[in-house]
Amino acid sequence: MTDTTTILAETRARIADAPDVEALRAIEREVVGKDGVVASLLKSIPGLPPEERKGAGQSANELKQAVLAAIEEREASLGSAALEAERRADGFDGTLPPPRVERGTLHPVTQVTRELEDLFTSMGYMVLDGPEVELDDYNFEKLNIPADHPARDTQDTFYCSSPGSSASLLLRTHTSPVQVRAMERLEPPFRAIVPGKVFRQETTDASHEHTFHQMEGLVIDRNVSVGHLIGAMKTLLRGIFKKEIEVRLRPGYFPFVEPGFELDARCPFCTDGCSVCKRTTWIELLPCGLVHPNVLKAGGLDPEEWGGFAFGLGLSRLVMLRYGIDDVRHLLGGDLRFLDQF
């Protein structure tokens, strides 16, 4: 007669050594299964002397319970070991480089333009567009820049010829022609901005381009004053720089405004002079002024009844300031290594 105690001890040892759940199931089958050790013990009972039968049955059952308990215990500990192993994550290095995400980009000029468009539309400004190939009349004459004005010299302006057209054409030198086009088309009062491409005939280098982006602003209303202009410009600068910016207004000469100003902003990059502000702590940012009465007349408005202010913002320059771009030629160069950065 096999001693159940011995069987239990042996089985327990095997259970403790079982490497995984499959091994436990095999032991379970072998010991407590249909044809297992416990079953054969029970089968052998009828052949025992009657006084031993009860004890043998009891022992077999105790063996079964003990083995099952041991298996259960071992299984639980194997489960937690698996969890533990998963948690230990041997060899994991989170600093390995992840796969690169390819992405597209919006041009930085588009991004800044949009930001400004959103700012201005929230203040009731329309966004207008105008032709890049423009009539001399709109680019100059109607903007109070008469024929003999030095600004009209060919050194600044790309004059154009178009087959079959006798019109005096040029590539607009500023977004200002849209001032008059807007006055002709819209009912005052109105507020508008005009982002767009402009052209100057000049030699290019890191800080000069023959093609760049500007944004014109125009407000036409009754009783518009320099005070309103200052207020609007400060709001604009708060929108751009996201903080209060000290400004100063000084006389500036632009034929289509009177009085005309240069608006300087206190350099947001330094307190005592840096390369951006050329050590002056001021950045020349916004030419602006009250719309010249002659321009109002050219746009079909009565200067006694209507007034307004206009301003010009160098979008390309603003983009360069914002991202610290040191060469303006990158903007229209189309180099992916540049575009990818925004």
Interface ranges with Zn ion (CB under 5 A) = 267, 269-270, 274, 276-277
Residues 243-262 that bind another protein (CB under 8 A): 248-253, 255, 258-262
DSSP 296-337: HHHTT--TTT-EEEEEEEEHHHHHHHHHT-S-GGGTTT--HH
Choose among another protein, Zn ion, none what residue 228 binds, the Cβ cut-off being 5 to 8 Å by kind.
another protein
- Whole-Å CA distances, 29 to 24, 25, 57, 59, 77: 9, 6, 19, 19, 20
Tell me the two tokens of residue 315: 């979008």
Q: Measured from the CB atom, is 103 or 243 closer to another protein?
A: 103
110 lies in the site for another protein, by CB under 8 A:
yes
- Short-list 228, 269, 268, CA closest to 249: 228
- What pairs with residue 133 in β-bridges? 171
Binding segment (CB under 8 A) for another protein, from list 28-36, 52-60, 63-71, 330-338: 330-338
Choose among Zn ion, another protein, none what residue 17 binds, the Cβ cut-off being 5 to 8 Å by kind.
none
336 lies in the site for another protein, by CB under 8 A:
yes
Residues 144-163 that bind another protein (CB under 8 A): 148, 150, 153-155, 158-163
Taking the complex as a whole, the smallest distance from the CB of residue 269 to Zn ion amounts, in Å, to 5
Number of residues that bind another protein (CB under 8 A): 85
290 lies in the site for another protein, by CB under 8 A:
yes
Residues 167-226 that bind another protein (CB under 8 A): 167, 169, 171, 189, 191, 197, 199, 201, 203-204, 210-211, 213, 219, 221, 223-226
- Determine the Cα–Cα distance for residues 143 and 38; give it in Å rounded to an integer: 109
Taking the complex as a whole, the smallest distance from the CB of residue 326 to another protein amounts, in Å, to 18
Choose among another protein, Zn ion, none what residue 88 binds, the Cβ cut-off being 5 to 8 Å by kind.
none
- Determine the Cα–Cα distance for residues 190 and 233; give it in Å rounded to an integer: 17
* Residue 282: partners with Cβ closer than 8 Å, 6 or more residues away: 248, 264, 265, 266, 267
DSSP 190-218: EEEEEEEEEE-----BTTB-SEEEEEEEE
123 lies in the site for another protein, by CB under 8 A:
yes
96 lies in the site for another protein, by CB under 8 A:
no
